[in-house]
């Protein structure tokens, strides 16, 4: 691939109503794990072989960034990547800013990993990423001694300048965030002394697990995670499991559509990521877990899901951080459930690729669903008889995804319970996390086709 992150073209989806989902499916590799695998492999001593790597735009932005910093990377070819690690201090200065595209994970984690390097570097992103808040990362990194300049509003570009040293800190996260936690731990690799992060609620722990796989000790005491700087990482073999965030769309779709029976193969079952399963089961979903051997230190299972009627619930607040990326499609499930669903404690959705609370409420409203946004969530009255089941207008409802991949895929699954075709616009960024989504979904039974401008 070339050095530049490809800019997505303007595409949309047109969905015919009804149908069901059937078959054995393998969704792409886990995006969060793919990012971290490239980052740690690059600064390890020796080669790392990665299988199951997600070949989507976000993960490729991370891969391209390390190529620009002098790391030799072969692939990806069919999910296989070989990284020739340069060691903790072997990265070199890129000739131009590193373009993170639409990837907030890339930008926030690299801010931590690169703030202790001996060279300046600038991190840039697309229009959407350039609006997302970065002070949640840059401010605690500054307490470690990092020098990072942002815009006046605390957004990208991030301009990192070299410093004489970083120092470990003991930081209590004000809001549960795996990205902030991971950024500080990666900076802690280059800091003097111990870096500790305390989280108010459990978040995904892929960074801690992967650091251990690369031979760097990480200590956890309850909600407090610590590591000591000055160590080294050793190259290894890593297998990336299928992404539970991508599997979630098919979990919901198969649950909603009568006659569905889908098995999702080799899905990562990290206990900090299974909130979507816990929430859907509480709503009445029929999801069976068939355990498989661990992959790269991560628990894995096949998931069999069949149609089941759902009931509205008050989504447990302790499950929200464990399902933060899957909440948009969970709201689609709520829209088709019997009774009311209340989501609270999810203010983080306001600062994702879009304001996911408002965008979901707007889209559900166009499908005839009574959905009331709240500052930290949403109230929904479900329509168990179907969305727009008695639609008598000649106009097809149009959903605006606002360039947010999870919004686009979530509303695609809503068509399984709709009484009318649905058009979804601004879907190009689906390729950032789920390349081949339309092809796989259509093969499983979703009546979807891509449209282009």
Q: According to the model, what pLDDT value does residue 393 have?
A: 61
Let me know whether 205 and 353 are in one domain. Answer: no
96 falls within a domain: yes
Domain final residue, candidates 239, 272, 294 = 239
Closest to 417 (Cα-Cα) out of 252, 251, 200: 252
DSSP 34-92: HHHHHHHHHTSEEEEEEES---SHHHHHHHHHHHHTT-EEEEEETTEEEEEEE-TT---
Task: Render pLDDT for 183-235 as a digit per residue (tens, 0 to 9).
Answer: 999 999 999 999 999 999 889 999 999 999 999 999 999 999 999 999 999 99
Q: In percent, how much of the chain has pLDDT > 70?
A: 96
224 falls within a domain: yes
37 falls within a domain: yes
Catalytic residue positions, numbered: 325
> In degrees rounded to 5, what are phi and psi of residue 288?
-105, 130
Which region holds residue 397: left if phi is over 0, alpha if psi is between -120 and 50, else beta?
beta
232 falls within a domain: yes
Strand partners, 311: 338
pLDDT of 322 strictly over 50: yes
Q: According to the model, what pLDDT value does residue 353 have?
A: 87
Q: According to the model, what pLDDT value does residue 73 have?
A: 98
Let me know whether 211 and 92 are in one domain. Answer: yes
Residue 110 is part of a domain; what is its CATH number?
3.65.10.10
Which region holds residue 110: left if phi is over 0, alpha if psi is between -120 and 50, else beta?
alpha
pLDDT of 394 strictly over 80: no
Distance CA 396, CA 12 (A): 14
Parallel/antiparallel/unpaired status of strands 170-172 and 191-192:
unpaired
Which region holds residue 136: left if phi is over 0, alpha if psi is between -120 and 50, else beta?
alpha
Q: According to the model, what pLDDT value does residue 1 have?
A: 37
The DSSP code for 234 is B
Distance CA 190, CA 116 (A): 6
Domain that holds residue 305: 11-28+242-452
Segment 307-335 mean pLDDT: 97
Let me know whether 224 and 265 are in one domain. Answer: no
38 falls within a domain: yes
Let me know whether 215 and 359 are in one domain. Answer: no
Segment 100-129 mean pLDDT: 96
Let me know whether 405 and 384 are in one domain. Answer: yes
Let me know whether 158 and 197 are in one domain. Answer: yes
Distance CA 101, CA 320 (A): 27
Q: According to the model, what pLDDT value does residue 3 have?
A: 43
74 falls within a domain: yes
Let me know whether 330 and 421 are in one domain. Answer: yes
Q: What is the mean pLDDT of the chain?
A: 94
**Domain tally, the chain:** 2
Let me know whether 403 and 301 are in one domain. Answer: yes
2 falls within a domain: no
Let me know whether 167 and 227 are in one domain. Answer: yes
pLDDT of 2 strictly over 60: no
Let me know whether 48 and 156 are in one domain. Answer: yes
Segment 390-416 mean pLDDT: 89
5 falls within a domain: no
CB-based contact 154:195 (threshold 8 Å): no
Q: For residue 440, how far is the Cα from the chain centroid? A: 19
Let me know whether 282 and 344 are in one domain. Answer: yes
Q: According to the model, what pLDDT value does residue 8 have?
A: 46
Segment 144-148 mean pLDDT: 98
Tell me the two tokens of residue 438. Answer: 């339309």
Q: According to the model, what pLDDT value does residue 195 have?
A: 98
Domain final residue, candidates 239, 272, 295 = 239
Let me know whether 24 and 35 are in one domain. Answer: no
Task: Render pLDDT for 255-287 as a digit per residue (tens, 0 to 9).
Answer: 999 999 999 999 999 999 999 999 999 999 999
Distance CA 40, CA 83 (A): 10
Q: According to the model, what pLDDT value does residue 395 have?
A: 83
Query: Which has the minimum average pLDDT: 111-115, 289-293, 387-391?
Result: 387-391
Closest to 260 (Cα-Cα) out of 286, 281, 242, 290: 286
CA atoms within 13 A on the CB side of 52: 25
Distance CA 429, CA 56 (A): 10
Closest to 279 (Cα-Cα) out of 193, 216, 342: 342
H-run or E-run covering 372: strand 370-374
Distance CA 114, CA 228 (A): 17
The band of 308, judged by pLDDT with boundaries at 50, 70 and 90, is very high
Q: According to the model, what pLDDT value does residue 389 have?
A: 59
Strand partners, 192: 167
Distance CA 101, CA 432 (A): 9
CB-based contact 372:448 (threshold 8 Å): no
pLDDT of 6 strictly over 70: no
Sheet of 170-172, strands arranged across = 170-172, 194-198, 224-228, 219-221
Q: According to the model, what pLDDT value does residue 390 have?
A: 58
Q: Residue 122's CB: how many other CB atoms inside 10 A?
A: 16
Q: According to the model, what pLDDT value does residue 295 have?
A: 77
Residue 139 CB contacts under 8 Å (≥ 6 apart), including other chains: none
C-alpha distances (whole Å) from 312 to each of 191, 293, 370, 439 are 48, 34, 13, 31
Domain final residue, candidates 239, 269, 286 = 239
> Where would I find the H helices in 135-243?
135-143, 178-188, 206-213
Entry pTM: 0.86
Distance CA 427, CA 433 (A): 12
CB-based contact 130:155 (threshold 8 Å): yes
Q: In percent, how much of the chain has pLDDT > 90?
A: 89
pLDDT of 453 strictly over 60: no
């Amino acid at each position: 691939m070339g050095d530049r992150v490809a800019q997505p073209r303007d595409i949309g989806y047109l969905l015919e109503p009804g149908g069901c989902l059937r078959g054995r499916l393998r969704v792409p590799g886990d995006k969060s794990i793919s990012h971290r695998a490239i980052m740690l492999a690059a600064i390890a001593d020796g080669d790392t072989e990665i299988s199951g790597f997600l070949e989507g735009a976000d993960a490729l932005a991370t891969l391209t960034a390390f190529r620009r910093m002098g790391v030799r990377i072969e692939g990806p070819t069919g999910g296989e990547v070989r990284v020739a690690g340069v060691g903790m201090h072997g990265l070199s200065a890129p000739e131009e800013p590193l373009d993170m595209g639409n990837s907030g994970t890339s930008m926030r984690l690299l801010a931590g990993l690169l703030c202790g390097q001996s060279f300046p570097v600038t991190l840039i992103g697309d229009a959407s990423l350039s609006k997302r808040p970065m002070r949640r990362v840059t401010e605690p990194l500054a307490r470690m001694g990092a020098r990072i300049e942002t815009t006046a509003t605390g957004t990208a570009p991030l301009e990192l300048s070299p410093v004489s040293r970083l120092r470990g800190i003991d930081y209590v996260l004000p809001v549960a965030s795996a990205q902030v936690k991971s950024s500080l731990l990666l900076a802690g690799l280059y800091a003097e002394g111990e870096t500790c992060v305390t989280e108010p609620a459990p978040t995904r722990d892929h960074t801690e697990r992967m650091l251990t796989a690369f031979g760097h000790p990480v200590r956890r005491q309850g909600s407090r995670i610590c590591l000591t700087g000055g160590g080294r990482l050793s190259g290894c073999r890593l297998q990336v499991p299928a992404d539970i965030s991508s599997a979630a769309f098919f979990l919901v779709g198969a649950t909603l559509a009568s006659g569905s029976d889908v098995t999702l193969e080799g899905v990562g079952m990290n206990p900090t990521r299974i909130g979507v399963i816990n929430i859907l089961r509480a709503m009445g979903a029929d999801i069976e877990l068939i355990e498989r051997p661990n992959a790269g230190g991560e628990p894995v299972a096949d998931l069999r899901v069949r149609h089941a009627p759902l009931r509205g619930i008050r989504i447990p607040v302790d499950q929200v951080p464990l399902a933060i990326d899957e909440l948009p499609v969970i709201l689609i499930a709520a829209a088709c459930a019997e009774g009311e669903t209340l989501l609270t404690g999810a203010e983080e959705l306001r600062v994702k690729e879009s304001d996911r609370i408002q965008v979901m409420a707007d889209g559900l409203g166009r499908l005839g669903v009574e959905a009331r946004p709240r500052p930290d969530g949403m109230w929904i009255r479900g329509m168990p008889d179907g969305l727009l089941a008695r639609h008598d207008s000649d106009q097809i409802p149009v959903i605006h995804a606002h360039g947010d991949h999870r919004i686009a895929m979530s509303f695609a699954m809503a068509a399984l319970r709709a009484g009318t075709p649905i058009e979804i616009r601004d879907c190009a960024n689906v390729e950032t996390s789920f390349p081949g989504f339309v092809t796989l979904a259509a093969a499983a039974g979703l009546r979807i086709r891509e449209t282009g401008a």
